[in-house]
Amino acid sequence: MERRGASVCSAYALTVMSRSEAITKWWNQGRNRVLLFQVLLILGTVLFFFLIGANALSNLEKQGITSGFSFLSQKAGFGIIQTLISYDESSTYGRTFLVGLLNTILISVLGIICATVLGFLVGIARLSTNWLIAKLAAIYIEIFRNLPLLLQVFFWYFAVLRSLPLPRNSLQMGDWFFLNIRGIYIPRPVPEQGFVLLGIIFLLSIAGVCALKIWARKHQEKTGIELPTLRTSLAIVIIPSTITWFATGGPLHWELSSLQGFNFKGGLTVIPELAALLLALTVYTSSLIAEIVRSGILSVNHAQTEAARALGLPQRKILRLVIIPQALRVMIPQMTSQYLNLVKNSSLATAIGYPDLVSVFAGTSLNQTGQAIEIIAMTMAVYLTINLTISWLMNRYNARTLLQEQ
């Protein structure tokens, strides 16, 4: 049987080949064929997901499980400890979704910024000519890169939490800052009349500084003379804002926290769940970023450094103008992966009670409503969207750094 099948096949192939020598059929033309297979693949994929969806729906119906998105307008009826938008127990599940989403975005953005800054510092320190600094950086990287993130989250949360005092014995600096087991309490800025004016003046001075920088660069390109802009910039930012501040009579006052009943009220609170998760994500990801920074810097040919030195550039400028721009080409694709990982890892929040999307929406809301398919699908869509956005931004940035080099 097999042999016969094979011979039929090869005979078929021969006829196809002999025909294609004469006239090339449209499906044998290179571009058409690529297109054909892609269309087939897309159709197949769509059909596959359609079948899965239809099957899931009919199964849900058979088991008597309610489906659909109408639950989003139902009252949720549970409390959340940290909300960036107004929320209370009478809000809907739709609102719960937004609260969770914003909390996830908050921890991701803070995490990415902190991990990048710390990662750069550690990565550069790792290459330092100072033996002690280089070794300390290496130890930092090896410890935090190799420990499971969940353990680090638990460590920062429970170990640090345990050593903090109860609210009544808070560590404090004057009446302004309080630190205890329930969080960090800082004054909350409350804007008053005239604050908008101050804001406008401030933004205008920032624009002024940008204009100055651009002009200075053009000037340098033309004449080769580098103008000192630091002092002028500082003056542009500080002087007008200060004058406006006093002219409007200080349009900002600070609301302080104070102990009332069980806990501190008023002011801003950074809950320990946020602090611990941020610490864990920052430390873990920065140890990975540090290695990326190192590999990026090492990838730049040493001759470049020597050439820059020969031009008489100081070490700081060599790093900023020569090495890092070239190192970025190696680093950016890897950094993108780290950012994506950080966003996904932020879902470990649920282990320590930080109210992120997975905790409040894919956790509590899912359990209260039982709408597993809808909620998990929405949650996955969120992570996908956030991460595709990050990838897109980073790819654009990557394209720009590549162009500059040529």
Partner 1 sequence: MNKCAISSMVALLLMMSAIPIIAGTLDEVKKRGTLACGVSTGLPGFSATDEKGHWKGLDVDGCRAIAAAIFGDASKVKYAPLNAKERFTALQSGEIDVLVRGTTWTKHRDTALGLNFAGVNYYDGQGFMVSKKLGIKSAKELDGAIFCIHAGTTSELNLADYFAKNSMKYQAIVFDTHDQAAKGFEAGRCDCLTADQSQLYALRTHLSKPYDSVILKDIISKEPLGPVVRQGDDAWFNVVRWSFFAMLNADELGVTSANVDAMRKRSVNPAIRRLVGLDGDKGQSLGLPDDWSYQIIKQVGNYAESFRRNVGRGSSLKIERGLNALWKDGGLQYAPPMR
Min CB(387)–partner 1 separation in Å: 12
- Our CA angle for 266, 268, 269, nearest 5°, is 105
Instruction: Based on the shown chain and the rule CB under 8 A, indicate whether residue 260 belongs to the binding site for partner 1.
Output: yes
What are φ and ψ of residue 326, in 5° steps?
-80, -35
The residue from 95, 126, 182, 294 that contacts partner 1 (CB under 8 A) is 182
**Cα 269 from Cα 282, distance rounded (Å):** 20
d(CA 173, CA 278): 23
Contact 115, 289 (CB under 8 A): yes
Neighbouring residues of 291: CB distance < 8 A, sequence distance ≥ 6 = 123, 126, 141, 145
Binding partner 1 (rule: CB under 8 A), the pick from 103, 286, 379, 398 is: 379
Beta pairing partners, 258: 265
In whole angstroms, give the CA distance from residue 31 to residue 40. Answer: 14
Q: Should residue 240 be labelled a site residue for partner 1 when binding is judged by CB under 8 A?
A: no
Q: Is residue 310 at the binding interface for partner 1, with CB under 8 A as the rule?
A: no
Closest CA to 103 of 264, 277, 335, 283: 277
DSSP assignment of 247-262, as one string? HTT--EEEEPPEEETT
Q: Contact region for partner 1 (CB under 8 A) — 77-85, 131-139, 242-250, 392-400?
A: 77-85
User: Considering beta carbons, is residue 168 or 396 the nearer one to partner 1?
Assistant: 168
CA–CA separation, 113 vs 119, rounded Å?
A: 10
Choose, by CB under 8 A, the member of 134, 181, 186, 268 that binds partner 1: 181
In this structure, what is the dihedral angle of CA atoms 324, 235, 118, 182, given to the nearest 10 degrees? Answer: -160
**Interface residue with partner 1, options 263, 315, 337, 385 (CB under 8 A):** 263
Number of chain positions touching partner 1 (CB under 8 A): 54
78 touches partner 1 (CB under 8 A): yes
Closer CB to partner 1, 77 or 191, in the complex:
77
Burial (Cβ within 10 Å: 0-12, 13-18, ≥19) of residue 389: exposed
**390 in contact with partner 1 (CB under 8 A):** no
Q: Minimum Å distance from CB 188 to partner 1?
A: 17
Which of 373, 391, 394, 397 is in the footprint of partner 1 by CB under 8 A?
373
Q: Which residue's CB is nearer to partner 1, number 27 or number 49?
A: 49
Pick the closer one to partner 1 by CB: 212 or 351: 351
As measured in angstroms, the least distance from the Cβ of 114 to partner 1 is 21
Query: Of 32, 276, 264, nearest to 149 (Cα)?
Result: 276
Output b/e per residue, 127-157; b: 16+ Cβ within 10 A.
eeeeeeeeeebeebbeebeeeebeebbbebb
> With CB under 8 A as the contact rule, which of the stretches 40-48, 94-102, 103-111, 262-270 interacts with partner 1?
262-270
Site pattern 195..214 for partner 1 (x: CB under 8 A): --------------------
Site string for partner 1, 343-372 (x = CB under 8 A): -x--xx-xxxx-x--xxx-xxx-xxxxx-x
**Alpha-carbon distance 372 to 226, whole Å?**
62
The binder of partner 1 chosen from 262, 312, 396, 405 (CB under 8 A): 262
Nearest-approach distance from CB 172 to partner 1, in angstroms: 17
Nearer to partner 1, 101 or 362 (CB): 362
Residues forming contacts to partner 1 in the complex (CB under 8 A) are: 52, 55-56, 59-60, 62-66, 77-81, 89, 158, 161-162, 166, 181-182, 260-263, 265, 272-273, 344, 347-348, 350-353, 355, 358-360, 362-364, 366-370, 372-373, 376, 379-380, 383
